[in-house]
């Protein structure tokens, strides 16, 4: 591992453990996790799927997946390695999933070696988007299942076990951060918090659509405008999205 990556990794862990800030926002936090994984691990895409207690799995981060990945993540919530991993860890019969003694819960799948019907739309959509390997890493703490982290690769070689373990460590740090944040606040059940995150995600999607129509651009570009405005004004993304919806804010494109 090169020294620069080591430093970035250390930063990422500190960031993911730091949920004690005043303005902690779950959805920004999970966005950060997906962005960090995509940057630090040798993967093409990283996504977080969440399931509040008893609810179906749903993609929450990144906010800006692009249309092919967005469609794939929707399918992944219905069937695929992410759902399998969330429900019960790696199925023993997954072809192309070499057992990793250090990460027995990770579902690692060779997408090119799968029958197209195995997981509904997941495999065909993943292949169409150019992905070759998918790894699903559980976000769990003491039996509580929060969801999972899905890593996607376009390289023919499988993800290295170092990357898978690092990914799992980042997912664990994020899970601990989330659970820690919950215990610090009275009256905030896990379900309430994760549900809040899902609603925040919907608010952001609604604001993307509104901005796209107002500025005559695509939803991905509209999201870039939204994010830029949030960053340059040091505001939370959900706050800015609310302003777009409730107050008719239209940031400069």
Partner 1 sequence: MVAREHGELAELLAALEAGGKGPDAAWTVRCAQILDMDGMCVSTQADSGELLWFSDELSTRLDDLQFTLGEGPSYEAGEHGSMSLTADLRTSSARRWTAFAPGAEELGVRSVFAFPLRLGAISVGALTGYRREPRPLADESVDAALSLCDALTLHLLSTLSPPARSARSARSARPGPYENESTHNRPSGLHRAVVHQASGMLSVELGVNLATALDRLRAYAFSHNRPIVAVSRDVVARRLQLTADCSGPGPCPGPGHSESGNR
**Residues forming the site for partner 1 (CB under 8 A):** 52-59, 70, 74, 77-79, 83, 86-88, 120, 187, 189-192, 195, 198-199, 201-203, 205-214, 219, 241-242, 245-246
56 vs 116 by CB, closer to partner 1:
56
108 vs 201 by CB, closer to partner 1:
201
User: In a 10 Å sphere around its CB, with 0-12 CB exposed, 13-18 middle and 19+ buried, how is residue 205 labelled?
Assistant: middle
54 vs 115 by CB, closer to partner 1:
54
Q: How far is Cα 51 from Cα 175, in angstroms, rounded to an integer?
A: 13
Q: Is the dihedral of CA 12, 3, 137, 56 positive or negative?
A: positive
Kindly give the pairing relationship between strand 133-141 and strand 144-153: antiparallel
Q: How far is Cα 114 from Cα 96, in angstroms, rounded to an integer?
A: 8
CB 247 to partner 1: min, Å: 11
- Element housing 137 (H / E): strand 133-141
Task: Give every strand in the sheet of 144-153, ordered side by side.
Answer: 58-61, 45-50, 144-153, 133-141, 107-110
CB 91 to partner 1: min, Å: 12
4 vs 142 by CB, closer to partner 1:
142
CB 125 to partner 1: min, Å: 13
Kindly give the pairing relationship between strand 45-50 and strand 58-61: antiparallel
CB 84 to partner 1: min, Å: 10
Torsion of Cα atoms, 118 then 121 then 127 then 132, to 10°: -50
CB 158 to partner 1: min, Å: 26
16 vs 244 by CB, closer to partner 1:
244
């Amino acid at each position: 591992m090169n020294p620069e990556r080591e430093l970035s990794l250390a930063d990422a862990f500190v960031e993911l453990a730091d949920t004690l800030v005043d303005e902690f926002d779950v959805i920004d936090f999970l966005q950060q996790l997906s962005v960090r994984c995509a940057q630090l691990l040798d993967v093409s895409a990283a996504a977080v799927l969440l399931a509040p207690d008893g609810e179906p799995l749903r993609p929450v981060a990144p906010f800006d997946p692009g249309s092919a990945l967005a469609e794939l993540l929707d399918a992944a919530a219905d069937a695929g390695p992410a759902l399998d991993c969330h429900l019960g860890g790696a199925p023993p019969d997954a072809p192309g999933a070499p057992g990793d003694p250090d990460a027995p819960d990770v579902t690692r799948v060779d997408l090119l070696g799968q029958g197209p019907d195995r997981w509904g739309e997941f495999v065909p959509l993943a292949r169409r988007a150019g992905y070759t390997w998918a790894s699903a890493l559980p976000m769990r703490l003491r039996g509580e299942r929060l969801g999972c982290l899905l890593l996607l690769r376009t390289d023919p070689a499988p993800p290295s076990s170092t990357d898978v373990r690092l990914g799992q460590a980042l997912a664990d740090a994020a899970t601990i951060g989330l659970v820690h944040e919950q215990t610090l606040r009275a009256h905030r059940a896990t379900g309430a918090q994760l549900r809040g995150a899902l609603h925040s995600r919907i608010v952001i999607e609604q604001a993307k659509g509104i901005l796209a129509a107002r500025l005559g651009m695509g939803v991905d570009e509209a999201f870039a405008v939204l994010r830029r405005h949030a960053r340059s004004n040091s505001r939370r993304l959900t706050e800015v999205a609310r302003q777009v919806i409730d107050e008719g804010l239209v940031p400069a494109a």
